[in-house]
Structure 1
Amino acid sequence: MLIPRFHPLSQLYRAAVFAAAAALSLAANAAEPIKVKFSLDWRFEGPCAPFLMAQAKGYFRDEGLDVTIDSGNGSSGAVTRVATGAYDMAFADFNSLVEQESQHPGMGIKGVYMLYNSTPAAIFVLKSSGITKPEQLRGKTLAAPVFEASRKSWPALAQKAGINKDDVTWQTVDSTVSANMLVRRNVDGIANFFFTGLLNLEARGLKESDLVIFPYADYGVNLYGNTVIASKNMLDNHPEAVKGFLRALNRALKETLADPEAAVQFVKQKDQLINVALETRRLKLVIDKLVITPESRRLGLGDVDPARMQQSITTLVDAFGLKNAPDSATLFTREMLPASAERTLP
């Protein structure tokens, strides 16, 4: 028997159909992953293995995220990418964030997971130069990319060495070119992260014994290193996505710490041309010097000591001659971190 169009049963049927369709639509929307555009600070090298692992093994997807990971051209550039809205999150030197926030207050970008517990910034010179102390760099020529974090934070080392930040001359070149220039003695030194500069120079025939290295951290520059940063939009409107990103990263990081050799294979998947042995060594240097530290053992992976952070900000503001001194709470939040138990080192 046909039911008239306006019969109550017919209306109930149509309502049920519409309700079911709406429910399916909501379910589909709920299942739609949140897109996150992420920038590294540099090329696809060993230290970025945890990010690439989290992507390749589906850890981001498990958190409802669709993450795109792009290489970078330096920490300052990575901060700028997030500041302009071109990227949602990035991996960048915390000190570059301090500088940019001081110059442009109110960006709203914050560090959310401190991966490098100490700065990897360093200056490299040839032992044959006779330079044995940072203060002997006065009047010398150094080479580095303009966005290189070691170059950006040079004023902090200069201050500790008792010289003016303008007492050196900078040549702006790519990091691979700067290594060649030092080998050829076209410059007196280069600025680079220690794990990048050392391996670049070794690849060009130098031995560590041929070099004098000035790691900033060894000369009283007690700065934090690289952190994951998130835009104001992500923190305000998608905090659960940020938390999910960090849970996925933390999961991959712990696997990376347990087996660096396996982790580097995810970098190899991204760039078939890498030297696996070299990138494995680079990753191990980062783990041993920057990730596993007394502080990270005490606080857990990703966390910071607020008092130390504020002191590092003060150091940078003084060294750079910046007008504004951002508060640590403006630049880093611990609210996005995974649970403490998940971040504990064995």
Structure 2
Amino acid sequence: MTAFHLIRCQFLIPFADVCDEIGAPTEALLSKLRLPVSLEEKANHYIPILLAVRFAETAQRSQGITDIGFQAARRLQFCHLSERLRTAIRFSPTLFVALQQLCKWASFEDTALGAWLERDDNRVRICTKLAGTSNVPHPEHSHWLQNVMSMHVVRQFAGPDWVPATMAFEGRYEPSPETRSVWGNTRFMSNQSASWIDVPVSMLDLPNLASETPASHDDEAGPDGHEIVSAIKLMLPSYLDDKIPTVAEIAEMAGISIRSFQRKLSNAGVSYSDLLDRVRFENASKLLRGTDAKIIDVAFSSGYTDPAHFTRAFRRFTGVTPREFRGKWKSQLVTPQ
């Protein structure tokens, strides 16, 4: 049985906006291809990806639009990603963890989308690929969205002006001169095995800059999920080198039941173990950057009784060992002569 691949309506909206801005018969084009006309109301609903790509190509050809994929991708923002993916990124302490979450949850944006990371010397490629669309003409429309989606995840850590040094596409596609002028410092590549952008390995341990507050849907009395997350993050460092409170003890301190406590955390998109891991990492990274404490002492001060476990956990957050992390920060503090 042939797979039936779907994409969120949200990713068709930028293409429709491009058409609306030039006065194209957008609704007629959507209706002709049996696509919803009220896209904004159905942003989180799913539609067949083949029809979405066909709409983009039909609009580009019939309306004489140059690089519609690029123009649509420029309208894409981080807030347009699915709530599940945004939540996962929001609670990722480093870029490395966020990219792992992107790979894990990419299929929530597009059921045919796969994502993975590849190391290439001193850079990491964020690769994406659509399954079952090899015969679709002009797949670069989708590839633009995929690459820019990855770019917005990186920007949550590197800042809003960050652009990749290289952007690659699967098919035989060459951006127009107008497109290249907008991305003047980016090198474009085509005929790749997947679409990808690259980031320096040195950026993987960048901390999260996101400030978006997750909405709480828990109507029970007491502090909401976000307030509890903030409170726990402030409180836990006091207990890391002693007896770390259990879930039951934290719930008791907050004056709510264990079930209510776990539900509030779930509404905020995080678990207690996630929070504890993040607090341990943040404490350890602060000590590694700001003190000369021995690695084993940093481990104990961050709530790890086994230094080997500490090293494995730290690598999951940054992609490097604690010693390598400290070496990088010390090298950045050396003033050139």
Instruction: Give the TM-score normalised by the residue count of structure 2.
Output: 0.28
Q: Which has the higher strand share?
A: 1
Instruction: Give the TM-score normalised by the residue count of structure 1.
Output: 0.28
By relative contact order (CA 8 Å, sep 6+), the higher-ranking structure is: 1
Question: Which structure has the bigger radius of gyration?
Answer: 1
